[in-house]
Amino acid sequence: MGKYHELAEEIVKNVGGKENILGLVHCITRLRFTLNDEGAAKDEVLKAMEGVVTVMKSGGQYQVVIGNHVPEVFEDVMALIDLKEDGRAGEQKSGKLLDRAIDIVSGIFQPILGIMAACGMLKGLNTLLVALGLYSAQCGGYLIINAAGDALFTFLPLFLGYTAAKKFGLKPMLGLAVGAAMCYPGIQAGTLSAGAEPLYQLLDGTMFASPVYIDFFGIPVISVDYTGTVIPVILAVWFASKCEKFFNKVIPDLVKFFFVPMLTLLAALPVAVLFLGPVATFGSTLISEFTLAVRGFSPLLAGAVVGFTWQILVIFGMHWGFIPVYINNVMTLGYDNVMMPFFACTFATSAVVLAIFFKTKDKKLKEMAVPNFISGIFGVTEPAIYGILLPLKKPFIISCIAGGIGGAFYGHFNFRKFILGGIGIFELPNMMNPDGSMGNIIVAFVGIAVSMTVGFLLTMVLYKDKKEETPAATEKPAAAVREKGEIIKIVSPLKGKLVKLENVKDEAFSSGALGKGAAIEPEEGVLYAPADGTVSALFPTGHAIGITTETGLELLLHVGMDTVQLDGKGFKTLVEAGDTVKQGQKLVEFDMELIQEAGYSLVTPVLVTNFDEFEEIEVAAKEQITAGDVLLDIR
């Protein structure tokens, strides 16, 4: 329960209750509701509430203006209205394709992280107890515990079908049905090929050669083992979400209840099995063939490539492309040395998570780090990847680098595995050379030490909490040392026409409730730093930025009115939150023509939000102003 829980409850109640809320995002100062019926909201009650600045209606949104602490209020409101994924999707969307891809992948895996970690630890515990001789791998107890550990990983498409459906806006039960259908035993490649000759071969003579055992009304089906895979079901659910939206539009309301899901499954599953699944499989094949070619050129380079890219492949489920190579090598050569460099990644990931545990001040991160570290040592790194490393980005890159260095070491020393089976530390017995020599197992332990040391040290040096503020952002030393009568000058961040704050067509700004200052109608699309200081807030869409100056001022620069609705289109941020900036430094570039064509005003308020700590704020007496000219005199 957050500190604004009571305020959040009152806001939800007075916008018409959670059943009246269709969506919620926030910008840097206000909650932006999409309501089913705006007439059900009690405007005057909300305006009179302590903690609410005012209420506005614009662009189809019901806006409750809060102020700088709106992210905390947003969290408490979201906890009450069961819109976690949908609300956050709007908040976090950005024009950066990589960020959006990471958001989608993380959002799909986030709900199953706990059970994923639990299953990984169960499998590791089961193997450990067998290794200690407490019971055998042939007993019923081992089988039942292993079933619990394997359940999620074997039927992963079911779980991902459900979570991907929530992420893509498909009915969750439909997503579950798609995932279950892709795990149906009768269509798995292993089942179809058991004791049967293929009807014919597709793409014969290429790396994509595929036997065909069945067809779909004359169309050949390239068989794939979908259990345990990731990308095929995510693609299938994404396609199903598009189908469902289409059928919802064209099917009469009277029969939508059963016809829409029926037609969605009928359209999505054949496309998934005929096209999406094989395409994902071919991608895996390309990766494994590329790795084999690189190994022929340089074992060290091949090991580095496998070690560096393995975590990325795991994210997209494409690591399965290595499995046939691995199994074939062990069965025909008696060992595998192609896939084995990935072994370094398991321990690199674990070491990065351990370093985060020691470095972070975030209580939730600390709680997640311990089980994810244990799960990683046991060989299951997905919980750490999806739950910690990928959302934080930099630790994920560090784990890839450490894995690459460890992989290069393994490649150079021809690290091998002789027996199939085992994960994490419980793979080590399978790496002992059958001739009794200890060289390979020594390489295994040295590689673990190299990977963990690199990962741990790089994280300790380079990682910082996202919410960790710099002293300039949290302290106000100038307020204590500023001499009486001293004038602080803030220069204009823009070139353009000066507009009185009270003339801004947005009550939240014109009333002065959010801060005192002025506004500028820009004539060029560049926003500059109005003073030396630290970027204390930067909204993902780039339209608003907060700066804490070296003189203790808290400034808010808000480019245009309601421009948050552009979702970052037309904005290019040149700094990040926490950056130290100098007066005149470029902060944001924005496309004036695009913003105006979209129907939004360019008028940009420049506000001192902690104005009550100062005696007087005087605005320059001129009509036109140039970036760098004095805009505000503050005493």
Q: Which residues form the catalytic set?
A: 27, 558
Q: Please report which residue ranges of 70-203 form alpha helices under DSSP H.
A: 70-81, 84-92, 97-109, 113-131, 140-154, 156-168, 172-182, 189-193
Taking a C-beta distance cutoff of 8 angstroms, is the pair 34, 90 a contact?
A: no
Residue 182 corresponds to which tokens in the numbers above? Answer: 């892709």
Tokens 């609300």, located at residue: 87
Structure tokens at 596: 């105006």
For residue 221 the two structure tokens come to 């089906």
DSSP states of 40-55: GS-HHHHHHSTT--EE
Pick left, alpha or beta for residue 552 (phi over 0 → left; psi -120 to 50 → alpha; otherwise beta).
Answer: left
User: Which two tokens mark 194?
Assistant: 């058991």
**Around 5, how many Cα atoms within 13 Å sit in the side-chain half-sphere?**
4
Tokens describing residue 95: 């024009």
In angstroms, the CA 172 to CA 583 distance is: 51
E strand or H helix at 457, and its extent? Answer: helix 439-462
Residues in the chain, how many? Answer: 635
- The sign of the CA dihedral 424, 425, 430, 432 is positive
| 586 three-class SS | strand
Joined tokens for residue 21 = 């809320």
Residue 155 carries which DSSP code?
T
Residue with tokens 């926490």: 578
**Whose CA is closest to 543, among 585, 592, 506?**
592
CA proximity to 510, closest of 424, 419, 607: 607
Q: Buried (b) or exposed (e) across 365-379, using 16+ Cβ within 10 A? A: beebbebbbbbbbbb
160, two tokens: 């991902």
